[in-house]
Amino acid sequence: MPYLLFNSSRSLDFNSTLNKFLTLTLTEFNKVCFIDSDILVKKNIDYLFEYNSPAFSFNEDKKISGELLLFKPDINLFSLIMNLTRHISFLSDEDMLEFLINNNFLKSP
């Protein structure tokens, strides 16, 4: 990764969420899969790249989880998301990932 993002006014969990979006800067790839460090991969996961992007994992509450994210890298989208995070202080750290995904990846065409 080229650098780490850090917003000193937010928690470490929030900053960890922001760093997931660094995958969007890897524009030399067609798709990038982010997997949280607490996930143990036990078999080949190449099939994940056959899914349309974006693709996300969900938790038991049916909310988007940041444990596994499949993106098509896009530096413009990365910049937009970073600008949004500077201006959205009303969301809790837990809700930020879902908000960013819902408002930037799941828009109707």
Question: Would 83 be classed as within a structural domain?
Answer: yes
Question: Would 6 be classed as within a structural domain?
Answer: no
Question: Would 35 be classed as within a structural domain?
Answer: yes
CA distance 62 to 43: 25
Asked whether residue 108 carries a pLDDT value surpassing 60, the answer given is no
Question: Would 108 be classed as within a structural domain?
Answer: no
Domain encompassing residue 92: 12-100
Q: What is the pTM of this model?
A: 0.70
Residues ≥6 apart with Cβ < 8 Å to 64: 56, 57, 58, 97, 98, 101, 102
Question: Would 7 be classed as within a structural domain?
Answer: no
Output the six-digit token pair for 30: 């067609």
Measured between its terminal Cα atoms, the distance across the chain in Å is: 31
CA distance 57 to 59: 7
pLDDT in tens, 2-57: 444 545 555 556 666 677 888 889 999 999 999 988 889 999 999 999 999 888 88
Edge-to-edge strands of the sheet including 64-71? Answer: 32-35, 64-71, 55-58
Question: Would 71 be classed as within a structural domain?
Answer: yes
Question: Would 44 be classed as within a structural domain?
Answer: yes
- CA R_g for the chain: 14
Domains: count for the chain: 1
Question: Would 91 be classed as within a structural domain?
Answer: yes
3-class SS at 1? coil
